[in-house]
Amino acid sequence: MALPRRHFLRNASLIAAAPAIGASIGNPASAATPAAWSVRPFALKDVSLGDGLFADKRRLMLDFGRGYDVDRMLQVFRANAGLSTLGAVAPGGWEGLDGEANGNLRGHFTGHFLTMLSQAYGSTGEAVFADRIRYMVGALVDVREALRRPPAVLSVPGRFGTAVENARGSYQYVDLPATALGGAAAITIAAWVKPAHGGNWARVFDFGNNTTRYLYLAARNGSGVPRFAITTTGPGGEQGINGTAPLPLGQWSHIAVTIAGGTGTLYVNGIAVGANTGMTLSPAALGTLTNNWLGRSNFSGDPVFAGAFDEVNVWSRALSAAEVAALQIAPATGDLASWAFDETTGGTFTDASGRGQHATLRRTWGGPSHPGFLAAYPETQFITLESMTSGNYTVVWAPYYTAHKILRGLLDAYLNTGDERALDLASGMCDWMYSRLSVLPQSTRQRMWGIFSSGEFGGIVEAICDLHAVTGKAEHLALARLFDLDRLIDSCVAGQDILDGMHANQHIPILTGLVRLHDETGEERYLTAAKNFWRMVVPTRMYGIGGTSTVEFWRAPGVIAGTLSDTNAETCCAYNMLKLSRMLFFHEQDPKYMDYYERALYNQVLGSKQDRPDAEKPLVTYFIGLVPGHVRDYTPKQGTTCCEGTGMESATKYQDSVYFESENGLYVNLFSPSTVTWRGVTVTQSTSFPFEQGTTLTVRGKAAFDLHLRVPSWARDGFEVTVNDRVLTRVPVPGTYFTISRTWRDGDTVRVRMPFRLRVERALDDPTTQTLFYGPINLVGRDARTTYLPVALYPTAALSGDLAGALTPVPDKPLHFTVGGIEFAPFFEGTEDPTHAYVERVEPRVVFAGLDSGVANPARADGTTLLDDVWADAPFRTHHALIVRVKAVVEAWQALGALTEQDAQRILNTARRAAY
């Protein structure tokens, strides 16, 4: 492993995390970048955010990260490993067992949370974040160790002495000997139980061979009450007894069943609650049974019992009602079997009956796990995926996606704190994945990765490549290539658009991984695929706010208005498109990537975060509906979806792309109050952008370098640069970088002026459906109506084409305006107001500078109007230039038969009389 390369990833940070901290971490001065990169990002610690819009949004997430109970994030991991959950409750939603698809994505949110804490520590240096990271990493070390050994008793206080607890999600049960019932013709089975969950059909005990011959006691049947049943012919032949009330959760209950002389009786807390006097079956009729369990059902679909057991006893006779009642006061020893669960270590429970019926703690999914495995659910999720031919997220829900989030979180933890345990966990995960995937046929992998959504793997390739740059292990790079989805790669390389109908966020992060694979392997096809893919999304599948997808999927290119709904612009998609854009910029400094980055960051990403504190939820949207009157939902699905996860990350790395460095240059990509420390100088950007239409950069120190200032593509009017109050005469070109080359001295000041203008962007498939921008900021109407708001803008248009004359500023509310009496506000404001991101452009009459020609504004079949044709040629240097354009347009429309000669003259005369 080459040291400079290892040092680079730790310190320059391919992932925009801060460099690792600690004596073992390399010197940043020795950092190197991938040879293909012509610019590189700064570590988060090297760029500090000043007060402003981004800092305000970040503060809310930092407070959430400081205060949230991390044991809740660890609950599902500890439960899966059979460890104590310390009384913590899982966050809920997708991060737990009760959410969508039986919690099959659990563990993903914990990984996001680790990344958020790591970025927060990298950005602020606050010890509280490092302490939380180290605590979580230590807990995950314990989890991996526990998964690598047979399950061990979790001893808890019992009804008498100690008891054994099986946490929900541990998949643990007690395996009893085949001779435990002794073939008795009469029997009593009694147990103290403390249920922790009310899952129907979870078994207290189940003695059987299969789903035909068995004897069981369920803590709750389909009606929620205890049920005992015995059968030799399956469910239809059950001879049963039902209780009358549910067993209370979190409390000890005594439950017993007796069979003798054709009568069965069910007792709860010493009281008979049900009886069956027509029973013809007993254990003697079942013969020797092979599956004899406490807490597990012979029906595979039934849940495993969650809770504690104490004093489980079996007698070869039916105890009397008085004897059963006496068990409430003191335990007694069954003559067939007796387990007191006094053990505090190991996984074997001693039988006190004298018959040697010792029991063993086991997991339903077998085990121990294979080396390196770490997850919040069993390996079975990964194993089952290998034989699936179609997706079913209630069976398998993207296990490699969840593995990515955990891997990324651990790697970020290592890069930011230097905790070698986190690196060991991350490396072990990749070793484990390689051991599974490398032995699969390529055809199996291709099938797996093409399955929605079970085969989704997120940005795992990017994370593995980043890990490889640290470890240098050949197996890790080989692992990254095992995720190649050839159909997608080959089509993108060929420029063939196959995205229609594909799941957007399943595929966007695949391309970020391909860029990193190119960096590590030099294979050009990976980078070519990513570049071509980007062009398939931007702009033809992009909404004005920068987001993409509808109901998580893509439609045909160019269909924008036709896809507007309540479920547009999944927030994860914007997060991943930002990643892809910045990574492509590292390879080619095409300003279009940073133009897109600004659009999506200042609009969708900022607007996806609600502007209020919350101790329990990150408050980030999943979808952002773009239909009229949509109200944003900041707590979808209990607030633990993928988008809340990436939202946590976004809000703690806002500064990651403000500046990049090249061999001899500093790129200023975004206008944000911030300070970057670089090559012995600091550059401070002072601005209240976007509330201010400009920025000021001050250099402290002395150095010679090129300063590259991005000239946004929207900055068409009056973009001006001064150095030490001297205006530079070169004319900045929108959509480029403006370079200043000089030897900078302490105190040098660069001021940038970039006047905003109001402009519209038309939906590609319907030019009358439009969204408004003021500079880089998307303006949304605030109105409860659920129909498109009609908006007219041309009557006050300036010669420059600026439509801002239609805006009336709202006093004391920056960037708030009224248009036609309707208030418009920045999309980035995280409110719950009903919004209109798109409006209906209505220009019924031909009007210039407020003068009405009295002529209706004609339109073509596609919706474009005569006035659209006129103003498409803006800016106009003079009033005369406008008149020349009007004359040409009216003549063209007259030739088409859309205007009479008289109406054409009226329009031209009105344009001449207009006061510009």
- Distance CA(125)–CA(652), nearest Å, equals 12
- Helix and strand numbers (H, E) in the chain are 23, 39
Which backbone phi and psi does 750 adopt, to 5 degrees?
Answer: -115, 125
Look at residue 13 and tell me whether its pLDDT is greater than 80. no
**What's the helix, strand, coil split of the chain in %, to 5?**
35, 20, 45
Look at residue 854 and tell me whether its pLDDT is greater than 60. yes
- Distance CA(384)–CA(376), nearest Å, equals 16
Category of 668 on φ-ψ map: left (φ > 0), alpha (ψ -120 to 50) or beta: beta
Cβ(689)–Cβ(654) below 8 Å: no
Note the pLDDT tens digit of each residue in 263-303.
999 999 999 999 999 999 999 999 999 999 999 999 999 99
| H or E element that contains 847 | strand 845-848
Note the pLDDT tens digit of each residue in 881-895.
999 999 999 999 999
Pairing relationship of beta strands 736-744 and 777-782 according to DSSP bridges: unpaired
Match 């006691």 to its residue by tokens.
217
Largest Cα separation within the chain, whole Å, is: 113
The Cβ-side half-sphere exposure at 19, using a 13 Å CA radius, reads 24
| H or E element that contains 254 | strand 253-260
* 162 beta partners: 157
- Distance CA(299)–CA(208), nearest Å, equals 10
To the nearest 10°, report the CA torsion of 802, 807, 811, 812: -50
**287: number of Cβ within 10 Å:** 10
- Distance CA(375)–CA(74), nearest Å, equals 11
Q: Which pLDDT value is given to residue 261?
A: 95
Q: Look up residue 359 and give its amino acid.
A: A
Match 């950005």 to its residue by tokens.
123
Report residue 853 CA to chain centroid gap.
54
- Give the chain's end-to-end CA distance (angstroms, integer): 69
Note the pLDDT tens digit of each residue in 573-610.
999 999 999 999 999 999 999 999 999 999 999 999 99
* 275 beta partners: 265
The pLDDT-based confidence of 35 (bands split at 50, 70, 90) is confident
Closest CA to 419 of 119, 134, 74: 134
Note the pLDDT tens digit of each residue in 814-836.
999 999 999 999 999 999 999 99
Note the pLDDT tens digit of each residue in 462-486.
999 999 999 999 999 999 999 999 9
- Mean pLDDT (whole number) for 646-664: 97
* 620 beta partners: 609
Q: Which pLDDT value is given to residue 36?
A: 86
- Distance CA(801)–CA(804), nearest Å, equals 9
Look at residue 32 and tell me whether its pLDDT is greater than 90. no
Between 681 and 21, the more confident residue is 681
Cβ(431)–Cβ(374) below 8 Å: no
CB proximity list for 276: less than 8 A, separation 6 or greater: 239, 240, 241, 263, 264
Note the pLDDT tens digit of each residue in 147-195.
999 999 999 999 999 999 999 999 999 999 999 999 999 999 999 999 9
Cis peptide before 390 (omega within 30 of 0): no
Which backbone phi and psi does 30 adopt, to 5 degrees?
Answer: -90, 5
Pairing relationship of beta strands 790-791 and 839-841 according to DSSP bridges: parallel
Q: Which pLDDT value is given to residue 273?
A: 98
Give the tokens for residue 809: 């500023």
Q: Which pLDDT value is given to residue 433?
A: 98
What is the residue-averaged pLDDT of the chain? 95
Cβ burial, residue 524 (10 Å; 0-12/13-18/19+): exposed
- Mean pLDDT (whole number) for 498-512: 98
- The DSSP symbol for 34 reads -
Look at residue 29 and tell me whether its pLDDT is greater than 90. no
To the nearest 10°, report the CA torsion of 454, 459, 461, 462: 180
Q: Which pLDDT value is given to residue 230?
A: 98
- Mean pLDDT (whole number) for 765-773: 97
Q: Which pLDDT value is given to residue 670?
A: 98
Point out the least confidently predicted range of 12-26, 613-627, 863-877: 12-26
Look at residue 663 and tell me whether its pLDDT is greater than 50. yes
Report residue 109 CA to chain centroid gap.
7
The pLDDT-based confidence of 25 (bands split at 50, 70, 90) is very low
Category of 218 on φ-ψ map: left (φ > 0), alpha (ψ -120 to 50) or beta: beta
Match 């335990």 to its residue by tokens.
331
